[in-house]
């Protein structure tokens, strides 16, 4: 594996020299070259946060999966590390697929899916997947230990292990697709991380006959309950919902090692934007539940590919659970360390068909807006980023809308969610070179999408169309660069 990692590192460093930074982020974690998708192995270990990710170092297109790696002291400022895993063993020859990490006795354990094509590459009906282990003493260099959990009988799609410790045992959930092509999550246990139970429990499964796979499962306590976070494949669109190629969301329920999972809150989407998939959670140093996701979507246009790279991770977000069983999602407090001096905008009323430019170049910035919904009869009001992206309140349909229009990249679409029935609406948005993340009313709703402004067309502008809108407060910060 060492030689394969060295070869991949050379390829990355060579490609980095010619990196086109038109869309390359200032404060989001991305690879300097090649392809990036699911976050893996997110963990706090021996004083550092580790973020691994699915990575193809030789092309901006998906290919044989490696594990890229970065570390941070604060979840904000990231430093790239050498590639952690490369495929090539008999059990992972066609890819080191997604997985998780645990810290135990000073060592870092990576659990991942070894992927093998049994026929032509890309034929998902002929594969073999098993859960594998690699261990590191220094958190940088890993030794593979081979397969620790083979695929159970009747399962071909069996991937993305998430491991944790509870009640004197190690537990693992794995995403699966049964012989009837129905998605589910399987639960296993171990006492030593190497030997896993052959018997398993179906923790939860789909009741939607269209959903053929549950990918990238996570299972964790939040408040007094347990959340199952996963990515169902095959879900059909319903009006404004489920419009992406694949979805992501969660169940809430009650669980203990001695009882089955009792679901109390059925599937809910966790993000309403275009580009949010395969989130994984971990605990911060002080015990907060943090999530990071892949900020792209399968089979979507990725205009950075001609620049030699594709894929980006979201900002870290803190998850909390309401008394009603709803997961609230907010950017972590550490992001405030990126802020430059605050720019305050006086409260004002936007008259019919008016606009105010807040920032001529919104390359890397954060903005908080509070609108008075009771006194804003405008048909449409919110903000534009350049000429191609807008986030607004639609007074006619009573929806929140994130819309994109980049015909030069064959992108023109929107995503929406029902407008909360509140007197005031707080919008908290983060804008980077090619991304927009919006959090509503302290995490009640969030939207995550990639955006692709043309050069010199990155102005951030507030607007109101057809009738007036009342802005109660606005604060803007330019943000410093965060990734080395």
Q: In the numeric block, which tokens belong to residue 134?
A: 């690699």
Q: Which of 249, 228, 264, 229 is nearest to 417 (CA)?
A: 249
Q: How many other C-beta atoms can be found within 10 angstroms of the C-beta atom of residue 414?
A: 18
User: CA-to-CA distance for 72 and 80, rounded, in angstroms?
Assistant: 9
Residue 38: active-site member? yes
Backbone angles phi, psi at 333, to 5 degrees: -65, -25
Within 126-221, where are the H helices?
none
Strand order across the beta sheet in which 289-294 lies = 277-283, 289-294, 317-321, 327-331
Q: Which of 153, 164, 163 is nearest to 199 (CA)?
A: 153
How many angstroms separate the Cα of 329 from the Cα of each of 101, 215, 290, 320?
23, 21, 9, 7
3-state DSSP assignment of residue 388: coil
User: CA-to-CA distance for 152 and 163, rounded, in angstroms?
Assistant: 18
Q: Please identify which of the residues 38, 160, 218, 275 carries the catalytic annotation.
A: 38
Within 224-294, where are the H helices?
none
Contact between residue 127 and residue 95 where contact means Cβ atoms under 8 Å apart: no
321 backbone φψ class: left, alpha, beta (φ>0; ψ -120 to 50): beta
Q: Which of 449, 418, 446 is nearest to 318 (CA)?
A: 446
Active-site residues, by number, are 38
């Amino acid at each position: 594996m060492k030689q394969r990692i060295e070869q991949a590192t050379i390829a990355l460093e060579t490609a980095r020299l010619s990196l086109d930074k038109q869309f390359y982020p200032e404060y989001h974690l991305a690879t300097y070259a090649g392809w990036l998708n699911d976050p893996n192995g997110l963990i706090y270990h021996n004083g550092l946060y580790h973020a691994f990710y699915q990575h193809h170092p030789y092309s901006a297109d998906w290919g044989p999966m490696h594990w890229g790696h970065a570390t941070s002291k604060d979840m904000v400022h990231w430093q790239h590390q050498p590639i952690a895993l490369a495929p090539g063993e008999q059990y992972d020859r066609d890819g080191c697929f997604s997985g998780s990490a645990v810290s135990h006795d000073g060592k870092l354990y990576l659990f991942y899916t070894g992927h093998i094509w049994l026929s032509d590459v890309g034929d998902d009906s002929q594969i073999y997947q098993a859960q594998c282990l690699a261990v590191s003493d220094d958190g940088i260099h890993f030794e593979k230990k081979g397969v620790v959990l083979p695929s159970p009988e009747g399962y071909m799609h069996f991937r993305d292990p998430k491991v944790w410790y509870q009640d004197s045992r190690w537990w693992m959930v794995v995403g699966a697709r049964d012989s009837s092509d129905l998605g589910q999550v399987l639960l296993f246990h171990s006492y030593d991380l190497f030997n896993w139970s052959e018997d398993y429990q179906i923790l939860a499964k789909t009741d939607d006959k269209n959903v053929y796979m549950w990918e990238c499962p996570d299972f964790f306590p939040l408040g007094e309950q347990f959340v199952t976070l996963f990515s169902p494949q095959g879900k059909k669109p319903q009006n404004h919902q489920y419009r992406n190629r694949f979805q992501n969301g969660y169940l809430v329920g009650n669980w203990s090692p001695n009882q089955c999972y009792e679901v109390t809150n059925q599937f809910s989407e966790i993000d309403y934007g275009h580009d949010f998939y395969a989130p994984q959670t971990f605990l911060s140093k002080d015990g907060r539940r943090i999530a990071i996701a892949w900020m792209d979507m399968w089979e979507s246009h990725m205009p950075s590919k001609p620049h030699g790279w594709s894929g980006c991770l979201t900002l870290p977000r803190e998850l909390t659970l309401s008394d009603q069983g709803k997961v609230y999602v907010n950017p972590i407090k550490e992001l405030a360390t990126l802020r430059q001096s605050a720019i305050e905008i006086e409260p004002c009323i936007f008259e019919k068909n008016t606009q105010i430019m807040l920032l001529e170049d919104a390359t890397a910035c954060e903005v908080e807006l509070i609108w008075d919904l009771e006194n804003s009869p405008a048909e449409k009001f919110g903000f534009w980023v350049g000429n191609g992206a807008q986030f607004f309140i639609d007074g006619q349909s009573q929806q929140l809308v994130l819309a994109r229009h980049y015909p030069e990249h064959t992108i023109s679409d929107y995503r929406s969610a029902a407008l909360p029935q509140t007197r005031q609406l707080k919008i908290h948005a983060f804008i980077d070179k090619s991304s927009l993340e919006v959090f509503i009313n302290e995490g009640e709703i969030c939207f995550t999408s990639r955006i692709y402004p043309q050069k010199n067309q990155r102005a951030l502008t507030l607007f109101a169309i057809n009738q007036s809108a009342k802005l109660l407060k606005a604060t803007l910060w330019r943000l410093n660069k965060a990734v080395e």
